[in-house]
Each structure stands twice: as structure tokens, then as C-alpha cells.
Amino acid sequence: MQTVIRATLLTTTALTFLTACGPDKQAAPAHTPAELPTQSHEQPAPGGAAVSPSGVTTAVDAPPAATESEFGQACHAAKLWMDAQHADPATLVEPYLNLMQRPETRDPGNFNIPWTELTAGQQAGVIMAATSASKGECG
């Protein structure tokens, strides 16, 4: 998982740098992997979170914090749920995150801990796992 995070950070940094070099070009906003499938155009404030119009946290300004095992279980749980919906997984990230953020939800998808009790890094891990599941990237 650390390799994926490093590769993502390096790619994002390189793309940001390359797009900002032209004198008449504005830099494209950098997106974390967790933001892409949610279609959210909001960036989390430093130390904060991006929230969709329906009130779902779709990005957290923290690096994902989960063990490889936790991430794998969370990704697998998200994939199983998405497969059961019989819809385009890319459209299911926000509904899945909504489910994981309900106070009563204790599931492998949120590390069996209610959303409000997760650290910002764990919340970022849940978002990253849901995003990975929507792309079919669960190992």
C-alpha cells in the first residue's frame, strides 16, 4: 500500500509541476485518489474535510492510515457491497461512504469503528478503500 501511495504522490506532484510551468497556463488542481470517483469538486480545507451537498464526507486532509490487512478488508467489503448494488461502481462511492458514516455502522468497511470515532487518517483510509473498490483495485 505504501508503494501505491508513494506512486500517487509522485505522479500528482509531477503533474502539478508540469502543468504549472507554462507562463499562460494555470495549474490544474491536484486530486487525491479518494476524491476522483466521488465527483466532488471541493478540496478539503487544511486539517479539514470535503463534504458533498448531501452531507457525505468525500475527502479528508490526512494521509490514509490503515494496515495493509485493514485496507484489504475495507476494500473487499466495499467491493462486495458495490457488486450487490448491480450499478456502475463509480456511481456508488458516495452512497457507500454515506452508509459507512452512519453512527450505527460497524463494518470491515470502516474498520468496525463508528465514523466519528475514526481518526482523520482512518477516515481517509475508508475513502481510499471505497475509491479503490469502485475501480476494481482491491487485491
Which pLDDT score, from 0 to 100, does residue 45 have? 54
Put simply, whether the predicted model's pTM sits higher than 0.75 gets the answer: no
Residue range 51-94, pLDDT digits in tens: 999 999 999 999 999 999 999 999 999 999 999 999 999 999 99
Q: pLDDT grade, residue 44 (50/70/90)?
A: low
Q: pLDDT grade, residue 46 (50/70/90)?
A: low
The fraction of the chain above a pLDDT of 90, given in percent, is: 63
Contacts of 109-112 with CB under 8 Å at 24 or more apart are 109/74, 109/77, 109/78, 109/81, 110/74, 111/66, 111/70, 111/73, 111/74
Mean pLDDT of the chain: 76
Better-scored residue on pLDDT, 31 or 112: 112
Q: pLDDT grade, residue 139 (50/70/90)?
A: confident
Q: Lowest mean pLDDT: which of 2-11, 75-84, 126-135?
A: 2-11
Which pLDDT score, from 0 to 100, does residue 3 have? 40
